[in-house]
């Protein structure tokens, strides 16, 4: 049985630890020093996160699925999409919250067309509760940088014309947007990679990895404190 004093110390430590502002909270409140841009940790994720990717996409509303895939994808269609993700060829980027929920993700699909070898397609989805924080634009920036460093010279986005948020992100980056009725194509010519783009990607990935491990430890601590509370109630 845990003593009351020890239990209280765990609770106070847990509150202090978990009340530290997250990157999401900092971005939302604008609580940053000076005019420096806020760093949103974006992590390259692999096949071990396939279940979290599925959970994220399945949580999208029918209208959000329509904007992301160009049609109102069913649960079965999303399941097939996730199962077919090629992590060896493509890159998947994600933003996690403190509960380790994947709240935003992007898919950078590299072309396997012989006539379009140096091209890649970008797709993104953001959970409704995480909108308005610039996550889509940040994921696009990360994808552009990674594509450049991988030798891609043309990125394109196929989107519904009503997906103005995505098309505006592309336009602001300098993409040429061509619309044909209900569908639009955005083409962005990429400059070649340089030392700055390689170094920036390395730093961004290290920050993201550190942030993710911090959140893993924070969640473990939260679960530990919750377990103590349950044990105290039972006893």
Q: Model confidence over 55-69: pLDDT tens digits?
A: 999 999 999 999 999
At 72, which CATH number?
3.40.630.30
Q: Give the pLDDT of residue 229.
A: 64
Is 28 contained in some domain? no
145 within a domain of the structure (yes/no): yes
Q: Is 21 inside a domain boundary?
A: no
Domain count, the chain: 1
What's the pLDDT score for residue 68?
94
Dist. CA 139–CA 60, nearest whole Å: 18
Those residues of the chain that have pLDDT short of 50 are: 1-3, 6-11, 13-37
Q: Smallest Cα–Cα separation from 60: which of 75, 81, 48, 82?
A: 75
Owning domain of residue 102: 4-15+34-227
- How high is the pLDDT of residue 123? 96
Q: Is residue 204 part of a domain?
A: yes
Q: How far apart are CA 81 and CA 208, in angstroms?
A: 25
Q: Is residue 203 part of a domain?
A: yes
- Kindly state whether residue 233 falls inside one of the protein's structural domains: no
Confidence at residue 11, expressed as pLDDT on a 0 to 100 scale? 44
Is residue 22 a part of any domain in this protein? no
Residues 180, 122: Cα–Cα separation, whole Å: 19
Mean confidence (pLDDT) of the chain: 82
Per-residue confidence (pLDDT) for residue 112, from 0 to 100: 82
Residue 29 forms part of a structural domain: no
């Amino acid at each position: 049985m845990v003593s009351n004093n020890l239990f209280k110390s765990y609770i106070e430590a847990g509150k202090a630890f978990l009340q530290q502002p997250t990157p999401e909270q900092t971005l939302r409140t604008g609580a940053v020093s000076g005019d420096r841009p806020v760093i949103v940790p974006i992590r390259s994720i692999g096949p071990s996160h396939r279940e979290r990717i599925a959970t994220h996409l399945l949580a999208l509303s029918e209208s959000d699925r329509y904007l992301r895939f160009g049609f109102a994808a069913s649960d079965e269609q999303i399941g097939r999409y996730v199962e077919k993700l090629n992590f060896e060829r493509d890159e998947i980027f994600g933003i996690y919250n403190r509960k380790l929920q994947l709240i935003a993700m992007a898919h950078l699909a590299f072309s396997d067309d012989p006539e379009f070898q140096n091209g890649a397609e970008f797709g993104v989805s953001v959970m409704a509760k995480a909108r308005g924080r610039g996550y889509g634009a940040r994921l696009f920036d990360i994808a552009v940088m990674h594509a450049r460093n991988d030798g891609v010279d043309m990125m394109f986005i196929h989107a519904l014309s009503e997906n103005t948020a995505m098309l505006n992100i592309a336009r602001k980056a300098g993409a040429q947007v061509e619309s044909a009725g209900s569908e639009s194509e955005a083409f962005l010519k990429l400059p070649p990679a340089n030392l700055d783009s390689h170094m920036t990607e390395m730093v961004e990935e290290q920050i993201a990895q550190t942030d993710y491990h911090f959140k893993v430890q924070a969640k473990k601590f939260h679960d530990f404190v919750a377990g103590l509370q349950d044990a105290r109630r039972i006893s």
